[in-house]
C-alpha cells in the first residue's frame, strides 16, 4: 500500500478507521485500548491516516493534569498533553470544528529552509563576525528556531568543518561562555590554515569586546593592559573602573586582580583611607605617584564624604514625597553604566553648554502626569540641593532646561522651555536676604524670582509640615533623616516606616543612627584629611579579598 492511500479493511489502519467511524474524537491511548494494540502501533497508524487525509487532528494539544501513586512518596501530579483524532469519512475540507476544538489536516513541508539551515546561513552571511549562540537565537527566534536547534546545529557543522566554535577550555572539557559558545564561519574558499587563523582572530576580537566572558588568563592580561595604558597617562586605576571594564561579578574581579598582582610583579597597588584600592605600573615615578595620590584622595573626600551622602539622600527624600502625594506620577528611568547610580537620575543632552557642563547634564528626577485622556502630559523636572538656594542655582537650572534637547524648544525670541515642562527646585531653604534686581530696576525676593521663571520652590519645611500633619514629633525632620540614613534606599525605608507608625518616629531614627556609626566615623576621617595608611603593595592582602 502506498503511503497515504486508503487502508484495507482487514489491516490495522482499517481497524482504526472503523473505531473512529462513529464520529467521536479519540486520542491514541483510547484507540490502543479499544483495539487491544500497543500505544506505539496506534500512534503510527493514526499518523499514517492523518497524512493520508482520512482522519483529522486537533490543531492544539490537550493538556491534562494527572496523578500517580508512588508508594511511600504519595501521589505525584504531572502534566501530560496529547492530540485528538477525528474521522473524516465525509471528505470535509479542513479545518473542521467539533465541539470547541478545531481539527486540521496534514500539510507537508513544501520548499523553504530547515531550521538548521537558517542557523548555518546566518553564520555564513555574517562571515566577518563572531557571535554567541544566544545572539544567534535572538536573531532567529522569530523564524521558529529554538535554543536547542542552535546548539545542535553548531556542533554538527563544527564536526563537518564549516564553523569554528570556541568556549572555556579546561583540561578535559569545553564549556560555554556566559552567553553560550562563540561561533564564526570558516571560509571554505581559502586554505584551511589561513581560514582557521582568521576565524580565531575574529573570536579574539569578540572576547575583547566582552572581557567578562573571557578566560581567567585573558582577563588578567586585559587588566594589565589597562593598568599600563593608564599609568602612561599619569593616572591610577580604581577597583570600580576595572569591574565595569571586565563586565564580570565582583568576586570574579577580586580573584582576577589578585592573580594579576601575583603573575605580574610589575603591577603595584596603593590603598587610600584603608578602604579604596588603586593600581599602577612600577614605571610611574615616585613624584607622579605622590601627585596623583593627592588628587585621588581629594576626589574620594568629595564623592564619598558626608555632604555627598546627604545630598543624594535629600534627592531620595523628595522622590519619596512625590511618590506618596502625586497621583498618577510616571517616573522616567535610565540604565546607567556606572553601577549603583539611581535609575531615576536622568542624563539629558544639551544643544548649548551650560556652565561647566558640556553636551550633557543631569537632573535628579523627571516624571509625567496626565490630567485627562485628551490633555497633554505635564512633565515635571526636579533638581535638588541640600542647603541654601541662591539666584545662581535657579539660573543654572533654568538654563539647563531651556538648552536641553528634551525640555527646550527654539522660538523666534530664542531658546525657551517647552510649555508643558515645569521646573521644580527642592532645597533646605532659600536665602531670605538675597534680592534679584531686574533690568527695569525692580527688586524681587528669591521666591518671586523663581515664580517669574516658572520654577516651583520646595523647602524642607514644606516636607516637615507633611510629617507633622501625620502626627510625627516636630523634632523629627527630613533633614535629620537624610543625615542619619546611610544611602537613598534607607531614606525611603525610614520615611515609609515613620509614615506608617508616626508614634515610633524617634525610636526608628535612633536605631538608624546607632546602626550607621561606622559610616559617620569614616566620613569624619575623610573630613579631617587624615589618611591613616597609604599602602604600596605588589601582592594583595586579606583586605583585597574581602574588603570594599
Question: In which band, very low, low, confident or very high, does the pLDDT at 526 lie, cut at 50, 70 and 90?
Answer: low
CA-nearest of 523, 392, 391, 389 to 459 is 389
Name the residue range of residue 167's domain.
115-209
Burial class, 475, CB count within 10 angstroms (exposed 0-12 / middle 13-18 / buried 19+): exposed
Which pLDDT belongs to residue 264? 87
Question: Residue range 538-547: average pLDDT?
Answer: 42
* 193-202: long-range contacts, CB 8 A cutoff, minimum separation 24: 196/164, 199/130, 199/164, 200/164, 200/166, 202/128, 202/129, 202/130
The two beta strands, 130-132 and 276-281, are: unpaired
Are 511 and 430 found together in one domain? yes
Which pLDDT belongs to residue 91? 67
Residue 474 grid coordinates: 516636630
Is residue 165, in this structure, part of any structural domain at all? yes
CATH number at residue 324: 3.40.1350.10
- Cα 182 versus chain centre, distance: 22
Is residue 24, in this structure, part of any structural domain at all? yes
140, 175, 209 — which closes off a domain? 209
Is residue 214, in this structure, part of any structural domain at all? no
CATH number at residue 162: 1.10.10.10
Which pLDDT belongs to residue 28? 92
Question: Residue range 224-251: average pLDDT?
Answer: 80
Instruction: Check pLDDT > 80 for residue 299.
Output: no
Instruction: Check pLDDT > 80 for residue 533.
Output: no
Mean pLDDT of the chain: 80
Are 492 and 540 found together in one domain? no
In the DSSP assignment, the letter for residue 403 is T
Q: How far apart are CA 516 and CA 519, in angstroms?
A: 5
Question: Residue range 524-530: average pLDDT?
Answer: 64
Is residue 120, in this structure, part of any structural domain at all? yes
Question: Residue range 101-108: average pLDDT?
Answer: 82
Distances (CA, A) of 238 to 241, 245, 293, 534: 5, 11, 12, 14
Burial class, 173, CB count within 10 angstroms (exposed 0-12 / middle 13-18 / buried 19+): exposed
Instruction: Check pLDDT > 60 for residue 276.
Output: yes
Half-sphere exposure of 125 (CA within 13 A, CB side): 8
Question: In which band, very low, low, confident or very high, does the pLDDT at 327 lie, cut at 50, 70 and 90?
Answer: confident
In the DSSP assignment, the letter for residue 21 is T
Instruction: Check pLDDT > 50 for residue 545.
Output: no
Question: In which band, very low, low, confident or very high, does the pLDDT at 4 lie, cut at 50, 70 and 90?
Answer: very low
48, 77, 104 — which closes off a domain? 104
Are 358 and 464 found together in one domain? yes
Range with the poorest average pLDDT among 247-251, 259-263, 282-286, 531-535: 531-535
Q: How far apart are CA 18 and CA 11, in angstroms?
A: 11
CA-nearest of 288, 415, 431 to 352 is 415
| pTM, full prediction | 0.46
Question: Residue range 332-336: average pLDDT?
Answer: 82
Range with the poorest average pLDDT among 76-85, 236-245, 489-498: 236-245
Q: How far apart are CA 449 and CA 390, in angstroms?
A: 11
What's the number of domains the chain is made of? 4
Q: How far apart are CA 400 and CA 520, in angstroms?
A: 34
Question: In which band, very low, low, confident or very high, does the pLDDT at 304 lie, cut at 50, 70 and 90?
Answer: low
Residue 151 grid coordinates: 546548539
Q: How far apart are CA 149 and CA 162, in angstroms?
A: 16
Instruction: Check pLDDT > 80 for residue 2.
Output: no
Are 202 and 237 found together in one domain? no
Are 130 and 253 found together in one domain? no
Are 252 and 330 found together in one domain? no
Question: Residue range 320-338: average pLDDT?
Answer: 79
190: number of Cβ within 10 Å: 12
Which pLDDT belongs to residue 92? 66
Are 240 and 177 found together in one domain? no
CATH number at residue 270: 1.10.10
54, 69, 104 — which closes off a domain? 104
Q: For 41-58, what is each residue's pLDDT tens digit?
A: 898 899 889 888 889 999
Q: Distance between the two ends of the chain, CA-based, in angstroms?
A: 77
Q: For 209-221, what is each residue's pLDDT tens digit?
A: 544 445 677 778 8
Are 242 and 389 found together in one domain? no
Range with the poorest average pLDDT among 352-366, 452-466, 530-544: 530-544
Are 94 and 190 found together in one domain? no
Which pLDDT belongs to residue 531? 47
The top-scoring range by mean pLDDT among 169-173, 304-308, 543-547 is 304-308
Is residue 257, in this structure, part of any structural domain at all? yes
Question: In which band, very low, low, confident or very high, does the pLDDT at 435 lie, cut at 50, 70 and 90?
Answer: confident
Is residue 21, in this structure, part of any structural domain at all? yes
Instruction: Check pLDDT > 50 for residue 154.
Output: yes
Are 298 and 432 found together in one domain? no
162: number of Cβ within 10 Å: 15
CA-nearest of 347, 378, 352 to 363 is 347
Question: Residue range 72-89: average pLDDT?
Answer: 80
Are 295 and 272 found together in one domain? yes
Which pLDDT belongs to residue 64? 83
Distances (CA, A) of 50 to 22, 25, 82, 87, 105: 17, 13, 15, 9, 7
Angle 517-528/286-304 helices, nearest 10 degrees? 130
Choice between 147 and 427, residue whose per-residue pLDDT is larger: 147
Which pLDDT belongs to residue 396? 87
Q: Could you give the 3-state DSSP secondary structure of residue 176?
A: coil
218: number of Cβ within 10 Å: 15
Angle 39-52/12-20 helices, nearest 10 degrees? 80
Residue 12 grid coordinates: 490495522
The residues pairing with 13 across neighbouring beta strands, listed in sequence order, are none
Question: In which band, very low, low, confident or very high, does the pLDDT at 532 lie, cut at 50, 70 and 90?
Answer: very low
Residue 237: which residues within 8 A CB-CB, separation 6 or more?
226, 227, 230, 278, 279, 280
Are 317 and 461 found together in one domain? yes
Is residue 60, in this structure, part of any structural domain at all? yes
Question: In which band, very low, low, confident or very high, does the pLDDT at 528 lie, cut at 50, 70 and 90?
Answer: low
Which pLDDT belongs to residue 173? 61
Is residue 526, in this structure, part of any structural domain at all? no
Distances (CA, A) of 348 to 94, 103, 240, 380: 58, 56, 24, 14
Q: Could you give the 3-state DSSP secondary structure of residue 315?
A: helix
Which pLDDT belongs to residue 191? 86
Instruction: Check pLDDT > 80 for residue 499.
Output: yes
Instruction: Check pLDDT > 50 for residue 538.
Output: no
Amino acid at each position: 500500500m502506498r503511503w497515504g492511500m486508503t487502508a484495507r479493511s482487514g489491516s490495522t489502519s482499517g481497524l482504526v478507521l472503523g473505531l473512529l467511524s462513529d464520529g467521536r474524537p479519540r486520542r491514541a491511548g483510547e484507540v490502543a485500548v479499544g483495539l487491544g494494540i500497543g500505544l506505539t502501533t496506534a500512534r503510527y497508524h493514526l499518523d499514517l491516516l492523518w497524512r493520508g487525509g482520512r482522519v483529522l487532528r486537533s490543531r492544539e494539544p490537550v493538556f491534562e493534569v494527572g496523578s500517580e501513586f508512588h508508594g511511600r512518596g504519595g501521589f505525584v501530579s504531572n502534566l501530560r498533553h496529547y492530540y485528538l483524532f477525528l474521522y473524516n469519512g465525509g471528505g470535509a475540507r479542513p479545518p473542521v470544528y467539533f465541539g470547541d476544538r478545531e481539527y486540521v489536516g496534514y500539510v507537508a513541508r513544501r520548499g523553504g529552509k530547515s531550521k538548521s539551515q537558517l542557523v548555518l546561513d546566518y553564520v555564513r552571511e555574517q562571515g566577518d563576525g563572531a557571535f554567541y549562540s544566544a545572539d544567534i537565537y535572538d536573531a532567529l527566534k522569530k523564524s521558529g528556531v529554538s535554543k536547542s536547534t542552535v546548539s545542535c546545529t553548531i556542533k554538527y557543522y563544527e564536526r563537518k568543518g564549516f564553523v569554528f566554535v570556541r568556549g572555556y577550555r579546561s583540561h578535559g572539557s569545553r564549556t560555554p561562555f556566559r552567553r553560550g559558545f562563540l561561533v564564526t564561519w570558516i571560509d571554505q574558499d581559502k586554505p584551511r590554515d589561513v581560514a582557521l587563523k582568521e576565524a580565531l582572530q575574529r573570536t579574539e576580537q569578540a572576547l575583547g569586546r566582552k572581557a567578562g566572558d573571557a578566560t581567567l588568563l585573558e582577563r588578567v592580561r586585559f587588566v594589565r593592559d589597562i593598568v599600563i595604558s593608564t599609568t602612561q597617562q599619569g593616572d591610577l586605576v580604581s577597583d570600580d573602573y576595572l569591574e565595569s571594564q571586565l563586565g564580570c561579578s565582583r568576586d570574579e574581579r577580586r580573584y582576577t586582580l589578585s592573580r594579576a598582582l601575583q603573575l605580574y610583579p610589575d603591577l603595584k597597588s596603593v590603598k587610600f583611607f584603608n578602604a579604596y584600592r588603586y593600581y599602577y605600573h612600577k614605571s610611574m615615578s615616585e613624584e607622579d605617584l605622590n601627585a596623583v595620590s593627592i588628587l585621588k584622595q581629594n576626589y574620594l573626600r568629595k564623592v564619598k564624604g558626608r555632604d555627598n551622602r546627604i545630598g543624594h539622600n535629600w534627592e531620595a527624600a523628595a522622590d519619596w514625597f512625590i511618590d506618596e502625594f502625586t497621583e498618577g506620577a510616571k517616573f522616567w528611568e535610565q540604565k546607567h553604566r556606572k553601577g549603583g547610580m539611581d535609575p531615576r537620575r536622568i542624563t539629558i543632552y544639551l544643544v548649548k553648554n551650560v556652565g561647566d557642563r558640556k553636551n550633557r547634564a543631569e537632573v535628579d528626577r523627571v516624571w509625567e502626569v496626565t490630567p485627562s485622556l485628551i490633555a497633554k502630559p505635564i512633565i515635571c523636572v526636579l533638581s535638588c540641593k541640600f542647603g541654601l538656594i541662591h539666584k545662581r542655582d535657579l539660573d543654572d537650572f533654568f538654563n539647563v532646561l531651556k538648552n536641553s534637547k528634551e525640555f527646550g524648544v527654539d522660538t523666534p525670541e530664542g531658546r525657551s522651555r517647552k510649555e508643558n515642562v515645569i521646573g521644580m527646585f527642592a532645597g533646605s531653604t532659600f536665602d531670605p536676604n538675597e534680592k534679584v534686581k531686574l533690568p527695569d530696576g525692580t527688586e524681587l525676593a528669591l521666591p518671586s524670582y523663581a515664580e517669574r521663571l516658572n520654577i516651583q520652590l520646595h523647602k524642607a519645611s514644606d516636607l516637615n509640615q507633611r510629617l507633622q500633619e501625620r502626627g510625627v514629633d516636630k523634632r523629627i525632620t527630613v533633614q535629620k533623616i537624610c543625615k542619619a540614613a546611610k544611602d537613598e534606599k534607607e531614606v525611603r525605608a525610614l520615611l515609609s516606616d515613620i509614615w506608617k507608625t508616626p508614634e515610633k518616629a524617634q525610636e526608628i531614627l535612633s536605631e538608624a543612627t546607632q546602626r550607621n556609626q561606622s559610616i559617620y566615623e569614616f566620613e569624619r576621617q575623610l573630613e579631617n584629611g587624615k589618611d591613616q595608611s597609604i599602602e604600596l603593595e605588589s601582592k594583595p592582602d586579606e583586605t583585597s579579598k574581602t574588603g570594599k
